[in-house]
Structure 1
């Protein structure tokens, strides 16, 4: 079985309040939608970035196969964090695949 890896971009970004931001993640093979995005604020543990109660509606994720994206439709100051693309592997569990450090001005 080929080694599974992904590439997340950008690795860092600087944005302004109200902007639209999109992060992308590409895998080297089909991961059958077992992709999730997590947000980690300074001094806190990672939290699911979408598909969970309490997650802002301005957060959305999409994709399939080998290409995935995560979008913040209107950036707010509280969105400054590190964002991780992650994959679930059967029998192994959660694997961190990439990260993006964000700043807002």
Structure 2
């Protein structure tokens, strides 16, 4: 799985988009696609944002959305928010049949003492 970009510089209040491409179909035999998007803040464990391509977890604001076109998957953030922290990492993960994997991290770097909370 490839993920682009690997580093994303954005300004708070602006939109952001991250894409990943699978080398093959991620469609499970049950008809579902287990593609997840996670974010990780400094010193914290990864937390889920999107599951099964486009479903937000209940705690995730609607400025996050996920979509798919074939084997291309996209995470969109309509408005990046700033918070005091280090860089934020975003990553796609998938599970299909007995195989699982993930893309590389996309880094949203800090600016000054502030960084995007995504």
Q: How many residues align?
A: 99
Q: TM-score, normalised by structure 2?
A: 0.75
2 CA distance for matches of 1:100 and 1:9?
7
Match of 1:15 among 10, 33, 37: 10
1 CA distance for matches of 2:42 and 2:96?
27
Q: Please tell me whether residue 27 in structure 1 is matched to residue 33 in structure 2.
A: no
Q: Please tell me whether residue 70 in structure 1 is matched to residue 75 in structure 2.
A: yes
Q: TM-score, normalised by structure 1?
A: 0.84
Unaligned runs of at least 5 residues, structure 2: 28-32, 51-55, 112-118
> For the structure 1 residues 48 and 102, does the alpha-carbon distance in structure 2 shift closer, same or farther, using more than 3 Å as the test?
same
2 CA distance for matches of 1:58 and 1:52?
12
**3-state SS of 1:54 partner:** coil
Deviation at 1:81, TM superposition (A): 1.1
> For the structure 1 residues 10 and 75, does the alpha-carbon distance in structure 2 shift closer, same or farther, using more than 3 Å as the test?
same
1 CA distance for matches of 2:110 and 2:63?
16
Deviation at 1:35, TM superposition (A): 1.1
Unaligned runs of at least 5 residues, structure 1: 1-5
Quick check: which one's strand share is greater? 1
